[in-house]
Chains A and B, each alone.
Chain A
Amino acid sequence: MTKSNGTRRVVVTGMGAVTPIGETVPQLWAGVREAKCGVSELGGFPLEDLKVLIAAQIKNFDHKARLKHFERDKIVLHADRYSWFAAAAADEAMKQSGLKIPVEDPYRAACIVGSGAGGLTTYETAYRDLFIHNKRATHPLTLLRIIGSSAAAHVGIEFGIKGPTFATCSACSTATHAIGIAYDYIRHGLVDRAIAGASESVINYGTMKAWQALHVLSPQGCFPFSKNRNGTVLGEGAGILVLETLENAEKRGATILAELMGYGQTSDAKDMVNPGVEGPREAMRMALADAGLAPEKIDYLNAHGTATAINDKNETNAIKEVFGDHARKLAVSSTKSMHGHPLGAGGGIEATLCIKAIQENWVPPTIGLTEPDPECDLDYVPNQGRDREVNYVMSNSFAFGGLNTVLVFGPPPA
């Protein structure tokens, strides 16, 4: 029940996701199996003078249908969209875990649900009301909708979690940090179970303008590792896991989906937008060391793979340094080619896909990869997923500011 370093073993017993290609994990996985692309024409608000007119949006998300059964959290239906995604994903994960709701021994449970930006769309609406429509006040729930910890609070209220409850915030590494911290809390005995992951919903006029001004969005699509890649595509959604000790999971007869074996986190401490090889490399090495695995044991790596010119090349180089000869035998893919870049939620969604890959011995593809970039020369599983024995997987999340996080999952302990 403990690892060689004496810490408790941690397993995943539930997972939930809301994405543009599937609003639950089974739907998402079916979408990935079909190599579905979630990128579509931007819509849902006046586009005005926007130049980038695509995004991976979740169309027609029915928050009422998904959340109306919530019993303890009375106002989740009035929350920001990012909290809806978090609540729906957490609900799916909790149901799968079979844990009692509200959770037993509530002070020994954690709820760490991050967000890169919180309720940015609520901000935009409120500021439009004030500055354009000259309204005398914002909507009374504006503040509660905006705060970046509101998703964590909503989820914690509904599931009765009374231990550590907060949000992580580290741009595209947000979910992975949340899962990593929950893992640390559980293995070191601070809590026995946790809901962990992140949620994001920032596709609005102001955010699109801000991303456009940084000149990193593609007007055509998200084509990671391709010679034709010309930027990322904003996505939205949530990815959340239920984690607990192996001991508790076995004791209550829960179905174990995977073991969370390793976590690495580093910071480049160098540049806001230009990543280095060293930081990502060290984070991957740290996660492998923590898992007690040789690099050759990893079968599948879910890359950060944003489809920006610099990330994909840099990540490829970092993978080569960590894996050596094995880098070419490893299946590497960027599922962002399908679900877009959901910013803070990315690592949560990608963690669910890594676990599905282990369960089904099938690796997801990188779609839109028709012309490989000579500088990105690994096996990115182009366009079609494939059968492959998958025991151990790695999931990379690298964020603006050079914030790097990596998780390693393995099969349920025999």
Chain B
Amino acid sequence: MDEVATKIVEILKKHMKEPRDDIALSTELQDLSIESLDLAMIVFDIEDSFGIEIPYNANEEVEDFKTVGSVVEKVRELIESKGGSAAAAGA
């Protein structure tokens, strides 16, 4: 896992009631028992960490939030479209 993925896994673990160490890119978010309110907080933390804005609506099922890998992909895409590098990571 690269820097972006590691940071995202770290954020996910922070919001899990019982954090696990076996989170992979293929892990589905629903298997991490993350509920809608947790997701709002995870999105907030990711946005803060990478200086991006994630289009997310709690009313919609979004493919981007299916697996850890799809979240990482989405974040990477948003960082790139921002025109910068991942320099903001860890900010």
Bound complex: CA A211 to CA B16 (Å): 41
Nearest-neighbor residue (CB-CB) of B40 within chain A? A140
Question: Does residue A329 face the partner (Cβ distance < 8 Å to B)?
Answer: no
**Could you tell me the distance between the alpha carbons of A136 and B49 in the complex, rounded to whole angstroms?**
12
Is there a chain B Cβ closer than 8 Å to A141's Cβ?
yes
Q: Is A75 in contact with chain B by the CB < 8 A criterion?
A: yes
Q: How near does chain A come to B15, taking the closest CB pair, in angstroms?
A: 10
**What mask results when residues 133 to 146 of chain A are scored 1 for a CB within 8 Å of chain B, else 0?**
00011011100000
From known contacts A136-B47, A139-B44, A140-B44, infer whether A75 and B37 are also in contact, taking CB-CB under 8 Å: yes
B44 and A137 contact, CB distance less than 8 A: yes
* Chain A min CB distance to B68 (Å): 20
B37 x A136 contact (CB < 8 A): no
The answer to whether A137 and B37 have CB atoms under 8 Å apart is no
Give complex CA distance A21, B13 in Å: 39
CB distance from B14 to the nearest CB of A (A): 12
B71 CB-CB contact with A under 8 Å: no
Tally the A-B contacts, defined by beta carbons under 8 Å. Answer: 16
- List of A residues within 8 angstroms of B53 by Cβ: 136
A11-45: CB near B (< 8 Å → 1, else 0) gives 00000000000000000000000000000000000
The smallest C-beta distance from A142 to any residue of chain B, in angstroms, reads 10
Assembly CA distance A75 to B36 (angstroms)? 12
Q: From B17, B41, B47, give the contact of A141 (CB < 8 A).
A: B41
16 chain-A/chain-B pairs, Cβ below 8 angstroms: A74-B17, A75-B37, A136-B47, A136-B53, A137-B44, A137-B47, A139-B41, A139-B44, A140-B37, A140-B40, A140-B41, A140-B43, A140-B44, A141-B37, A141-B40, A141-B41
Complex interface residues of chain B between 14 and 30 (CB less than 8 A to chain A): 17
Report Cα–Cα, A334/B26, bound state, in Å. 64
**Interface residue SS majority, chain A:** loop
Interface size grouping (class) on chain B: under 10
Q: Could you give, for residues 27-56 of chain B, a 1 whenever the CB lies within 8 Å of some chain A CB and a 0 otherwise?
A: 000000000010011011001000001000
Q: Map CB proximity to B onto A341-382 as digits: 1 under 8 Å, 0 otherwise.
A: 000000000000000000000000000000000000000000
Q: Complex: how many Å from CA A139 to CA B44?
A: 7
Which A-B residue pairs are the 3 nearest by beta carbons? A140-B40, A140-B44, A140-B41
Chain A residue with minimal CB distance to B37? A75
Chain B residues in 8 Å Cβ range of A140 = 37, 40-41, 43-44
Bound CA–CA A325/B44 (angstroms):
64
Q: For B37, B43, B53, which residue has the most chain A Cβ atoms within 10 angstroms?
A: B37
Using A139-B41, A139-B44 as known contacts, list a sample of 6 further A-B pairs with CB atoms less than 8 Å apart, ordered by residue number in A.
Answer: A74-B17, A136-B53, A137-B47, A140-B40, A140-B44, A141-B40
Q: Which residue of B lies closest to A137 (CB)?
A: B44
For the complex formed, measure the closest distance between the CB of B30 and the CB atoms of chain A, giving whole angstroms: 17
Return chain A residues, CB-CB under 8 Å to B47. Answer: 136-137
Chain B residues near A139 (CB-CB < 8 A): 41, 44
Residues of chain A with a CB closer than 8 A to B41's CB: 139-141
- Chain B residues within 8 Å of A137, by CB: 44, 47
User: Chain B nearest CB: distance from A135 CB in Å?
Assistant: 8
Expressed in whole angstroms, the minimum distance between the Cβ of B46 and any Cβ of chain A is 12
* Bound: A215/B62 CA distance, A: 53
Cβ of B85 to closest chain A Cβ, rounded Å:
20
Closest residue of A by beta carbon distance from B44: A140
In the bound complex, CA of A388 to CA of B44 (Å): 58
**Docked complex Cα distance between A139 and B41 (Å):** 8
Question: In the complex, A96→B44 CA distance in Å?
Answer: 40
- Minimum Cβ distance to chain A for residue B88 (Å): 12
